[in-house]
A and B are shown apart, each in its own frame.
Chain A
C-alpha cells in the first residue's frame, strides 16, 4: 500500500499520523465516511428498539400525563409480560392469526405452484396473463380490502353472482367474515408466491429435466425428483416470508371488518392497534410487540435453517 511508504518517509508522530493517513487508508476513510449513516441508522433502528424494551417493563400510558422517559416511575418488570401470558383476548387474536396463516399459506402455495408450472412453458398471450396475474400484488392492501369490502356486500356482486339472498351476509356474519378476510389475503398474496416459485422453477436447468425425461421419468416423477428438490431453498424462503408477513395482516381487516363482528376477525396486529389507539396501553403494547418479534425471529431462523441444510444427509 502506498500509505506504508508515505509514513516511512515522513516518520510523522503517532498523533498526527492518524489524521494524515485517513485519506490513504481505505479502512479509516471508510469509517469516517459512513459514520453519519451509521449514526442515523442507529437512531432509526436501535433507539426505538431500546425504547420499546424500556416501555415494556413499565406500566406507562400516554394518558398518565408523564413523558415517556419518566416511565420508569411506573416500573413493573414481569408485570406486562405476565399480563400478556394470561390475556385471553391476546391468545384468541393470536389463534385467529395462526388460523389465517395455516389456511391461506397452503392455498397460496398450491395456487402459486400450479400457476408457476403453467407459466414455465410458452403459450400465446403469456406475457399478458403474467402481467394480469401480478397486479394484485401491486395493489395497496387497503385498496384490496376496499375491493373485497364492496364485493362481499350483501347486495354486492358475489351474492348477486351466486344467487344468494340479500339476507345472506358475509362481512357481518361471525363465521363468514373470516372467510372474506382469507379470500382477500389469498387474492393479494398468491401472485408473490407465484412470482418467486416461478423464478425458482425457471432456475432448474432445462437439460436436467430433459435428461430425466430421456431416462424414462414421467412428468410427475420429474417434478418430484428433479424440480422440487432443486426448488427447496426457494420454497422455504417464500414460506418463511409469507409466515412472517401474515402476522402483519392489518389493512384489509381494518377496511373490511374492523376486526368484527365482535372480535371475530381480530388478528394480532389489529388487537395491538386497538390497544394502542383505543386503550392507550403503550407499555403493554411494547411488551406484546417485543414478544412477537422474538417469537417470529426464532420461527424464521428455524425455517431458514431447514433450507440451508445440505442434501447430503441421505
Chain B
C-alpha cells in the first residue's frame, strides 16, 4: 500500500508531448480511474507510475518519497495488461505462482497462496491446465490473480475489461470493486469507458491531449464539470450543448443561439455568462434535467423545437428535440410525446452549466 504523487510530470516523445505538466495525488488505498479518449496520455501516465517509462521532467513520489528501487522488478507494482500478457506456455498454476517462484519462496507457501488465490478467483478447477487454452474471461481472472498474489503496493490496470463480453464485463466490474476492498491496495485504472470509471472509481481523473482536465469523485465530475470537455465526456446520454452569442440590452441578457433563435436568460445564469472572456458562450444541460413543456417559472430557459426521434434506453424515453441550434435531448415528461410533434423544452436555471466558448472553461464552476 502506498500513496502516489505526480508532480509537474511531463512526458515527451520527440516533438510530441504525451503528458503535459500533470499534477495528481493518489491517496493510499484509493481507487482512481484515469479516464480519457485514446491518445490522451492516460496509458503513458500509468506506464510512468509503473516505471516502464520515465518522465521527461517532474517528480513521481511513492509515499512522498522518490522510488528507492532502481529496477522496476523491485517497485512492487501489480500491472494488468489490456491483453493480459498471460504466459501461455505455462499452466495456470505456474502463472499464478510466477511472482513467488522468481522470489524463491518456499514451495509450501507458494502452494498455499496459489490455491487460496485460485479459489478466491474461482479458477481453481483450471489450475493444472495450460493457460493458453483458457477463455478470455478466465485469462482476465488469471491476469488479475497473478498480479494480486504478489501483494503489490500499487495495482495498475490498463483497460482490463475492454476485451470482455458485456455480461462478464459487468460481473468483473463488481468483482474488481470487491477485490479492491479486500486487498485495500491503491489502484489506478485506465479506461476510456466513462461508465466503467463512474461505477468503479473513488475518484476520476479525466485527461485530454496530455492535460489533466479535472479530478474528482464520480458524481462531482458528473454534476460539476470543470469544462466543456469533461461535461461532454462524462454522462450518458451526452450532455446538451447550445452555443451562442451573449447579448445584454438594458439590463436584460439573452442568448443569440447559432441557428438564429434568441432565448432570454434568467438573472443568475446571465451573471455567470457575463464572466466569459468573449461574448461567445455555451449553455450545457444534461438530458435528465430537461423537461418537456414550459414550467411557467422565472428560473427557466425555454427552447422551441420539433421531436425528431424518440430513443428508448431500457424503460426510459429520450426525446431528441430538433432546434435551430442543434438537437436537445429531453428525458423528463416525454412519456406521451411522439415524433413530429412541436415541443418546447424547459431548462431549469439551476441545472444549466455556463461555459466560455473560447476557453471551454466552466463559468459557474464551484471548484474545490
Binding site for B on A (CB under 8 A): 205, 207-208, 210-218, 221, 225-226, 229-230, 310-312, 314
Contacts and interface: CB of A to CB of B under 8 A. Distances in A.
A207 B74 CA distance: 18
For chain B, give the interface size range. Answer: 20 to 34
Contact of B85 (A208, A216, A218, A230): A208
A11 B330 CA distance: 71
Interface of B: 50, 52, 72-74, 77-79, 81, 83, 85, 87, 89-91, 94, 98-99, 102-103, 130, 146-147, 150
Given A208-B87, A230-B89, A215 B130 contact: no
B158 to A, nearest CB: 10
Contacts of B85: 205, 207-208, 210-211
B91 A216 contact: no
Contacts of B72: 213-214
A25 B326 CA distance: 62
A200 to B, nearest CB: 13
B89 A229 contact: yes
Contact of A214 (B73, B87, B90): B73
Contacts of B78: 214
Contacts of B94: 314
A216 B103 contact: yes
Contacts of B83: 207
What are the 3 A-B residue pairs with the smallest beta carbon separation, nearest first?
A211-B85, A215-B99, A207-B85
B89 A207 contact: no
Contact of B73 (A205, A218, A230): A218
B67 to A, nearest CB: 14
B98 A214 contact: no
Nearest to A310: B130
Contacts of A221: 102
Given A216-B73, A216-B103, A229-B89, A210 B52 contact: yes
B74 A214 contact: no
B89 A217 contact: no
Contacts of B89: 229-230, 311
A211 B52 CA distance: 10
A285 B7 CA distance: 79
B303 to A, nearest CB: 50
Given A205-B85, A230-B89, A314-B91, A214 B146 contact: no
A53 B79 CA distance: 63
Contact of B74 (A216, A225, A229): A216
Contact of B50 (A212, A214, A217, A218): A214
A231 to B, nearest CB: 10
Contacts of A217: 73, 98-99, 102
Nearest to B99: A215
B102 A215 contact: yes
A226 B98 CA distance: 11
A226 B87 contact: yes
Centre residue among B89, B90, B98 by max chain A CB count within 10 A: B89
Nearest to B129: A312
Given A210-B52, A226-B87, A314-B91, A215 B81 contact: no
A167 to B, nearest CB: 54
A263 to B, nearest CB: 47
A218 B77 CA distance: 15
Given A210-B52, A225-B87, 13 more contacts: A208-B87, A210-B85, A211-B87, A212-B87, A213-B72, A214-B52, A214-B78, A214-B79, A216-B103, A225-B102, A226-B87, A229-B89, A310-B130
